[in-house]
Amino acid sequence: MGEAGQLSIADLANLAFAIGILAAGILSVAYIFVGGISFILSGGQEDKIRQAINTIRYAVIGLIVTIGSIFIIQVVGYIFNFDLISILSWDRITELMGGLVDRIMNSGGSSQGPSLPTGGTGTLR
């Protein structure tokens, strides 16, 4: 976090990367289980078996891409001298999420929160 508990752009980007990678990993594992259960419940029907195998195959490919993206993020962070991968600790993610939620909850209704850009007519664009 930046000074006075404010989130920087880098913290938000790191948080988005971390949440995206965690969500992709969790969804990949969930679809592997769904494909496995579909395979077990296929009852020997060739179409259902083929569909279950495709579900498992694509979920494994998604898991490999997710793991590969972690490696790519590390390489890009090393090249540009950023510590992009440090956010992938559960404690850091919960700390940033808590800070973001607190900031949103505290700015609701007060004039100290961030203001959204408005057009000349006072409507959001």
pLDDT, tens digit, 9 for 90 and up, residues 9-44 = 767 777 787 788 888 989 999 999 999 999 999 988
pLDDT value at position 114? 46
Considering the domain boundaries, does residue 107 fall inside one?
Answer: no
Domain enclosing residue 74, as ranges: 8-100
Using alpha carbons, list the distances in angstroms from residue 69 to 4, 20, 22, 31, 73.
32, 10, 11, 19, 6
**What is the number of domains present in the chain?**
1
Residue with the larger pLDDT of the pair 93 and 70: 70
Supply the pLDDT for residue 12. Answer: 75
Q: Does residue 78 fall inside a structural domain?
A: yes
Residue 99 and residue 92: Cα distance in Å, rounded?
A: 11
50 in any annotated domain = yes
* 12 within a domain of the structure (yes/no): yes
pLDDT of 7 reads 64
Residue with tokens 């990993």: 25
Predicted confidence at residue 124, as pLDDT, reads: 41
Residue 111 falls within a domain, yes or no? no
In a domain, 113, yes or no: no
| H or E element at residue 116 | none
pLDDT of residue 36: 94
Q: Taking residues 58-82, what's their average pLDDT?
A: 86
Q: How confident is the model at residue 45 (pLDDT cuts 50, 70, 90)?
A: very high
Q: What integer pLDDT is reported at residue 121 of this predicted model?
A: 46
Residue 110 located in a structural domain: no
Q: What is the pLDDT of residue 88?
A: 62
Q: How far apart are CA 85 and CA 77, in angstroms?
A: 8
Residue 35 lies in a domain: yes
